[in-house]
């Protein structure tokens, strides 16, 4: 595959160059703001995010109609921001194939060719499952996307197993099939570096060598962490649980504990040679900046983001 994009006489590095290159990538996830105030906060934060030189920024896709439209709007807005390469999350749950084709065609018309292909989950506040779409699994969505144009496609990895999966080896098999069709993967968040490295060993033993970016989160609220962990299957180590509980009476200390946990995990992962770090930013620019600053020795200065 030609990883270089021609722009005039210059060859520009793509995401895949970064993920296969000598230096780790740095990327983050944002969600589309839900209120005008949150939207204003995000607009103010964009220049700070650009300063981090992220390899890419991925934008989540919600379960409901209006939040889905907001994903499209934010992705297209970021696509025109110098220094930010957006990846649009897209889920197949609750969508017909015709709708998915139309969404992909709209992205192509807007010049967006980077997608994170997912099955989808209900929002955190809901216990109800999402209605099925015509495609049951993310791997089918990868096939559809690849057939619709020159897309770079990332998929979700679940190092501790997908919570709905009853058989870890079957889950691994489905994941490897999915990643084989896609370009790279981003993991669900986890809290122990061994979780990632053991998972990578299992994937590599299936002869799949595509990049798998570890996703990390700075836990700053116990209730949402517990809810998210139930949904994602991530095990919260007792020591982290105790540290967060011990700091729970003071939001400032709680945030510090969460960010320090994320930094320590990121450093251990980078020392172990991961292809990059993907931060579930929860739209907290301050925490993301702090994490990036604390791992700066792993990144050569002056490196540009991908195109
Ligand atoms: P799949 O890969 O389809 O797997 C789902 C389950 O089906 C697994 O148990 C798997 O083992 C099983 N399976 C897969 N293929 C087969 C098959 N052929 N036969 C039988 N069983 C099979 N959710 C959102 O709603 N919006 C988002 O923006 C979003 N972003 C995310 C980003 C990342 C990086 C991650 C890790 C997760 C994200 N999620 C998001 C959550 C995700 O949608 C859920 O984890 C969802 O439950 C599964 O999605 P998946 O793409 O991994 O599904």
pLDDT in tens, 55-83: 999 999 987 777 899 999 999 999 999 89
Could you tell me the distance, in angstroms and rounded to a whole number, from the CA of residue 104 to the centre of ligand 1?
A: 19
The yes-or-no verdict on residue 4 having pLDDT over 50 is no
Q: Kindly report, residue by residue over 155-205, the tens digit of the pLDDT.
A: 999 999 999 899 999 999 999 999 999 999 999 999 999 999 999 999 999
Mean of the per-residue pLDDT values of the chain = 91
The yes-or-no verdict on residue 15 having pLDDT over 60 is yes
Phi, psi (deg, nearest 5) at residue 116: -100, 115
The yes-or-no verdict on residue 303 having pLDDT over 70 is no
pLDDT band, very low/low/confident/very high, at 242 (cuts 50, 70, 90)? very high
Domain spanning 4-298: CATH 3.30.450.20? no
Could you tell me the distance, in angstroms and rounded to a whole number, from the CA of residue 49 to the centre of ligand 1?
A: 27
The yes-or-no verdict on residue 1 having pLDDT over 50 is no
What residues does 29 pair with on adjacent strands? 58, 280
Q: What does DSSP assign to residue 177?
A: H
**Of the residues 87, 118, 125, which should be mutated to test ligand 1's pocket, given the most ligand atoms within 8 Å of the CB?**
118
Phi, psi (deg, nearest 5) at residue 176: -65, -40
Residue 29 known to be catalytic: yes
Could you tell me the distance, in angstroms and rounded to a whole number, from the CA of residue 134 to the centre of ligand 1?
A: 15
pLDDT band, very low/low/confident/very high, at 9 (cuts 50, 70, 90)? low
- Res 10: pLDDT: 57
- Res 133: pLDDT: 85
- Res 249: pLDDT: 92
Say if CB 157 and CB 179 are below 8 A apart: yes
Among the listed residues 29, 134, 170, 198, the single catalytic one is 29
Domain spans of the chain?
A: 4-298
Residue 263 CA, chain-centre distance (Å), reads: 17
Ligand 1 first shell, C-beta below 6 A = 60-61, 89, 91, 116, 118-121, 137-139, 156, 162, 164-165, 171, 174, 178, 186, 188, 215
Residue 118 CA: which ligand 1 atom is closest?
51
Burial of 266-296, coded b for 16+ CB within 10 Å and e otherwise, reads bbebbeeebbbbbbbbbbbbebbbbbbebbe
pTM for this structure?
0.95
């Amino acid at each position: 595959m030609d990883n270089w994009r021609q722009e005039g006489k210059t060859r520009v590095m793509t995401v895949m160059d970064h993920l296969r290159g000598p230096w780790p990538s740095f990327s983050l996830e944002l969600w589309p703001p839900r209120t005008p105030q949150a939207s204003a906060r995000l607009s103010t934060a964009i220049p700070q995010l650009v300063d981090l030189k992220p390899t890419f920024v991925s934008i989540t896709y919600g379960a409901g109609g209006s939040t889905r439209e907001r994903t499209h709007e934010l992705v297209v807005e970021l696509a025109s921001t110098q220094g930010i390469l957006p990846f649009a999350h897209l889920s197949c749950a609750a969508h017909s194939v015709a709708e998915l084709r139309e969404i992909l065609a709209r992205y192509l018309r807007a010049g967006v060719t980077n997608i994170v292909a997912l099955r989808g989950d209900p929002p955190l506040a809901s216990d109800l499952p999402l209605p099925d779409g015509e495609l049951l699994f993310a791997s089918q969505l990868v096939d559809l996307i690849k057939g619709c144009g020159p897309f770079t496609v990332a998929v979700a990895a679940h190092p501790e197993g997908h919570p709905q999966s009853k058989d870890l080896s079957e889950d691994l098999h489905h994941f490897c099939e999915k990643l084989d069709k896609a370009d790279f993967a981003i993991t669900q968040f986890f809290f122990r570096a061994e979780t990632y490295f053991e998972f990578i060993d299992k994937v590599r033993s299936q002869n799949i060598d595509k990049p798998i970016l570890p996703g990390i989160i700075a836990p700053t609220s116990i209730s949402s962490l517990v809810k998210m962990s139930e949904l994602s299957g991530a095990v919260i180590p007792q020591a982290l649980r105790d540290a967060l509980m011990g700091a729970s009476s003071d939001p400032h200390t709680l945030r510090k504990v969460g960010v320090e946990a994320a930094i320590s995990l990121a450093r251990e992962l980078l020392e172990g040679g991961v292809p990059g770090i993907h931060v579930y930013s929860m739209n907290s620019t301050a925490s993301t900046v702090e994490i990036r600053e604390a791992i700066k020795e792993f990144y050569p200065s002056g490196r540009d983001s991908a195109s």
